[in-house]
Amino acid sequence: MKRTGKLSKLLIASTMVGILSAPALSDDLTVASVVFQQDQFFRTIQMGMNAAAESAGATLLEGNSDSKPEKEISLIDTYIARGVDAIVISPVSKVASIPALKRAKEKGIHIVTYNSTIDDPSIPVSYLNSKQRDLGNTTGMMAAKFIADEMGGSVKVATLGFKALLPEISADRVDGFIEEAEKGGNVEIVSQQDAWLAEKAVQVAGDIITANPDINIIYAANEGGTVGAVQAVRNAGKQGEIFVFGVDGTEQLVSFLLDDDNVLQAVTAQQPYVMGEMAVNAAVAASKGETVDKTVIVPVLGLSRTDKPAVEEFQAYLRSLQ
């Protein structure tokens, strides 16, 4: 591919980071991974984890807390009893997740957090994430241009967040979006709801549309919310009237950006595969006594239907990971 734009440079840089940080082959190391829901974002993270573990010769155990603190605690206690070398986890709670992870650390288990973390920075040896406000800001900047160019500088907006799950991260993404979107003109926020799983988001977004028939934009702060918002607009027959902006760059969302129905306008993609890969690399390195970075920022990327070649390039990248 001759085109070497922003996406190509970003992916090349991220790949090089992953290569440079890959630890040497491990001797019977066991890494336990924990996600908190089963969507394409976390499935792609798991793919990156599996690739890194295989490359390092480590055993990877997989667990899903289903966003339930009690299940997360049970998983961690099981891994403690099994005597794993490291736990790589996206914690359900910044506070409630601390005691179990502290017990694990006290048993000599190395903790790596990704995507979300805890309020005790002494526990994780490394935390990998995207800058949460950047995710909202980047989508908001694309929305501001859309509002100014396509909507006459005045819109009614609803947001879908996940405050009940991860309040600080949700607030960063939603507030960051609004902060930038308002630069496009008059932005009236008519509803702010929680819905981070697609099936719930379809219902919540549908109710918002029913209650606000003159709404122009729905912003969703994660993959599930974005998928649900798009489906709700389609269900209501509001294509061309209500436009969706979101977060995350999965194959489904990319296909929505390329769809002719013009519903999904832009998303800001994280790099879940790279995040998962680097998280396991950090866990293996720490288990081998090597120095790891305390905080690692994985860059984000704005994708808009106005730049079809970039969206198609990102789609090809995602498919190459299969």
Residue 305 lies in a domain: no
CA atoms within 13 A on the CB side of 285: 20
Please report, rounded to a whole number, the percentage of residues in the chain having pLDDT higher than 90.
85
Q: Are residues 140 and 260 in the same domain?
A: yes
Instruction: For the beta carbon of residue 150, count every other beta carbon within 10 angstroms.
Output: 14
Instruction: Return the sign of the alpha-carbon dihedral for residues 310, 141, 163, 229.
Output: negative
CA distance 123 to 104: 9
Final residue of a domain: which of 228, 252, 269? 269
Total of domains in the chain: 2
Residue 317 lies in a domain: no
**What is the pTM assigned to this prediction?**
0.80
Alpha helices in the chain (DSSP H): 6-21, 40-56, 69-82, 98-106, 132-150, 167-181, 198-211, 223-235, 251-258, 272-287, 308-320
Q: Is 276 exposed, middle or buried (0-12, 13-18, 19+ CB in 10 A)?
A: buried
Q: Are residues 280 and 166 in the same domain?
A: no
Q: Are residues 280 and 262 in the same domain?
A: no
**Domain range spanning residue 19?**
14-129+272-298
User: Tokens 């690739």 label which residue?
Assistant: 51
In this predicted structure, the answer to whether residue 241 has a pLDDT above a threshold of 90 is: yes
Provide the token pair at 164: 């009940």
**Rounded alpha-carbon distances, angstroms, from residue 302 to 138, 236, 283, 321:** 6, 27, 29, 20
Q: Are residues 63 and 168 in the same domain?
A: no
- Write down the pLDDT at residue 101: 98
Q: Are residues 82 and 97 in the same domain?
A: yes
Query: For the domain that residue 184 is a member of, what is the CATH number?
Result: 3.40.50.2300
Query: In 3D, which of 46, 54, 66, 53 has the Cα closest to residue 272?
Result: 46
Residue 4 lies in a domain: no
**pLDDT level of residue 246 (50, 70, 90 thresholds):** very high
Q: Is 15 exposed, middle or buried (0-12, 13-18, 19+ CB in 10 A)?
A: middle
Q: Are residues 123 and 140 in the same domain?
A: no
Q: Are residues 21 and 93 in the same domain?
A: yes
CA dihedral 280, 282, 287, 293 (to 10 degrees): -160
**Cβ–Cβ under 8 Å, residues 84 and 59:** no
Q: Are residues 161 and 240 in the same domain?
A: yes
In this predicted structure, the answer to whether residue 80 has a pLDDT above a threshold of 50 is: yes
- Write down the pLDDT at residue 40: 84
Give pLDDT tens digits for 44-68. Answer: 999 999 999 999 999 999 999 999 9
Q: Are residues 157 and 207 in the same domain?
A: yes
Final residue of a domain: which of 225, 248, 269? 269
In this predicted structure, the answer to whether residue 28 has a pLDDT above a threshold of 90 is: no
**pLDDT level of residue 220 (50, 70, 90 thresholds):** very high
Q: Are residues 158 and 239 in the same domain?
A: yes
